[in-house]
Amino acid sequence: MSVGGLFNTGTSALRAAYAQLQTTGHNIANVNTPGYSRQEVELATAGGNISGGGWIGRGVDAVTVSRRYDRFLQAEVIGGTAASASDKVRYEQLGTLDRMFASTENGIGAAIDDLTSGFADLVNRPFDSTARSVVVNRARTLAERISNSFDNLDQLRENVNQRLMQDVHSLNASLAQLGAINDRIAKTAGTGQPPNDLLDQRDALVEKINQTLKTTQYVNADGTVSLFSASGQAMVVGNTVATFELRNDELDPSRLQLAMTTSGNSIALPRGMLGGGEIEGLIRFRDDDLAAAQARLGQLAGALAEAYNTQQSLGRDPSGAAGAPLFGYGTASVGPASTNTGSAAFSVAVSSGSQLQASDYEIDYNGGAYSITRMSDGTTTSISSWPATIDGLTLNLSGGTAQNGDRFLVKSGSAFASDFRAVISSGARIASGLAVSTQLGQANTGDIQVDAFSVTSNDANLSQPVTITFDGAGHYSVSGTGTGNPSGLAYTPGMTISYNGWSVRLDGSPGANDTLALVPTANPANDNRNARALVELADQRTVAGDRFSDAFAQMLSDIGVRTQSAQAANTMSAQVLSDAKAARSSVSGVNLDEEAARLLQYQQAYQAAAKLLATAQTVFQTLLDASSL
């Protein structure tokens, strides 16, 4: 019989209960520690000694302290974190973008209407210098609103880039930390026990990294974790850590792109390969949502400026000069990609404002041939000769030769709204009149009348006097420089006759020898016909088939639709993450009531173990007493 056995059993019980109390204490202390998984002591019996009367147990062993942890639930949380971070930041940014265009009574659409109203007063009183000043002021207000909107969008882009830089900085720091933790975990392998708190730290870091950028992870047998980017590049293996940076995109140097340097190689990570995380959400917002808004604003700005400037140039101001341009806007440009090997250079100019699209373009040279892609919808057209015209832009190869694989960026939609300004110096330069007027013959006997008159181009012979003579029997002849003096042409009421850049629509039936003369306008200051055309611009399809107000309304609704869908995505991914966290928490989370109950339980066990030791001591004492003589 061994008294030591009882002492050992008691001591083991005491030790086990004490370990349990310590662990419960650790759990209680860390109840609110993020990423903490509750720990439990795992007990096993210490086996037994064989004796004549059977196996006598030796007590209890605290085998290990283990985390309550489910790696599948943890994986769900990590995946959910990356998705939710991306959706959340995109929704927040879109909300800001949406609110920028909220007050429509003071918006661009309202400013266009105000300008039209200003022109309408000029229609009534074309010679009125006050009305002219009002038009100039309204043009300036409109230009300010467009320019402010552009600046706001640009500032938003700048803020996104700043945030990206911060995120990359924190990503690199977290990756370095994870490398260090991996190192420490690897070094504890010798102890044979899982380093629970280090493992929790490891998991918390992986979760934090996923908030910034999505990863896939693989836990090795020794407890270290290997992290790979969504596209498969190694981010952390052991204590070898890749670094991330932002650098200029090859095609568009004004755009920051994510790149990763690992074992000396630098790899660019395009947006499609990022998978999730705040960086992905920010880049998606910047290159997709924000870029679309900037392009639409640019399209409206360019089309608007071209429409008004062209109409001005077709008219005449009070001094008889062609109307000066109303608006100036950002110039389109073509630049080569930084990876190009050839020397080709291009020029680009706007040839038709009403065909401009809300897009930038990419020119590619492959297999000895050029092609151009509209970036907003991916449509590619091949180019067989220069100059080439697409979507209202005329592109020309200005010199050099391209090599296969060369790419060029045509900045158009994104450029037009920058530097948007009213360039008209005074109301005296507004072309309210037209260079040429119609005058029916004084002695006309029929009822021929002019229904509509317009100038379509500044033909060299625009102001040349022209006479149209009708024979009263369904024919007419034309005489005047630039017309070629045709005769015997058929007349039908309602037809349009055009020469020398003007166009007149006639109605009614002429009598024999009735005439219609085109004469230079004596005093353009008093003529309101171009002012009428300027008012009517708001009704014309000037923006790729839409009117100004339609194009602006579409821009608003496009932003609105994106915001609404981002909101839905954010709500859903936040819910998925929340549920995943709840599920994980139900396994790993500390419940204070439970720990309180366990405290009592282990305290009781400790007391019992202490009592056992006291009993063992009494037995020993009894033995001693019994053996004393």
Partner 1 sequence: MRISTPLAFERAIEGMNDRQSALVRTQQELSTGKKLLQAGDDPMGAAEAERTRSQIRRVEIQQRMNDFAKNMLGQADATLAQVNEVLQSLREGFVQAANGSLSTSDRALLARQFQGYRDELLVLANRADGAGGFVFGGQGSTSAPFTTSGTIQYNATAGEQQVGLDTNSPTMLDGRENFMNVPTASGPQSIFAVLDSAISVLSNVSATSPAQQTAATTALQGVDEMLDKVQMTRTEVGENLKSIESRGQLAEDSSIEMKSRLSQLVDLDFAKAMSDFSTNQTALQAAMKSYTEIAKMSLFSYI
Q: Which is nearer to partner 1, 107 or 472 (CB)?
A: 107
Q: Which is nearer to partner 1, 121 or 245 (CB)?
A: 121
Neighbours of 272 (CB within 10 A): 10
Residue 28: CB minimum distance to partner 1, A? 9
Residue 440: CB minimum distance to partner 1, A? 7
Residue 569: CB minimum distance to partner 1, A? 13
Residue 560: CB minimum distance to partner 1, A? 3
Alpha-carbon distance of 27 to 32, in angstroms, equals 9
Q: Which is nearer to partner 1, 279 or 430 (CB)?
A: 430
Residue 198: CB minimum distance to partner 1, A? 21
Q: Which is nearer to partner 1, 233 or 567 (CB)?
A: 567
Q: Which is nearer to partner 1, 244 or 308 (CB)?
A: 308
Residue 227: CB minimum distance to partner 1, A? 26
Q: Which is nearer to partner 1, 94 or 235 (CB)?
A: 94
Phi, psi of 381 (to 5 degrees): -125, 140
Residue 469: CB minimum distance to partner 1, A? 17
Q: Give every CB contact of residue 416 below 8 A, 6+ residues apart in sequence.
A: 298, 299, 301, 302, 305, 329, 330, 332, 356
Residue 15: CB minimum distance to partner 1, A? 24
Angle between helix 291-314 and 129-187 (nearest 10): 160
434 exposed, middle or buried (CB, 10 Å; 0-12, 13-18, 19+)?
buried
Q: Which is nearer to partner 1, 84 or 528 (CB)?
A: 528
Q: What is the SS3 assignment for 49?
A: strand
Q: Which is nearer to partner 1, 561 or 608 (CB)?
A: 561
Which H or E run contains 169? helix 129-187
Structure tokens at 379: 């449509």
276 exposed, middle or buried (CB, 10 Å; 0-12, 13-18, 19+)?
buried
Q: Which is nearer to partner 1, 213 or 534 (CB)?
A: 534
Three-class SS string for 354-388? Answer: HHCCCCCEEEEEECCEEEEEECCCCEEEEECCCCE
Residue 90: CB minimum distance to partner 1, A? 13
Alpha-carbon distance of 406 to 421, in angstroms, equals 35
For Cα atoms 146, 149, 154, give the angle at the middle one, nearest 5 degrees: 125
Alpha-carbon distance of 441 to 513, in angstroms, equals 9
Alpha-carbon distance of 51 to 70, in angstroms, equals 43
Report the candidate in 169, 215, 219, 229 with the shortest Cα–Cα distance to residue 199.
Answer: 219
Contact predicate 4/49, CB 8 Å = no
Q: Give every CB contact of residue 605 below 8 A, 6+ residues apart in sequence.
A: 13, 16, 17, 20
Q: Which is nearer to partner 1, 149 or 215 (CB)?
A: 149
Residue 591: CB minimum distance to partner 1, A? 5
- What does the CA dihedral 608, 614, 617, 622 come to, rounded to 10 degrees? -100
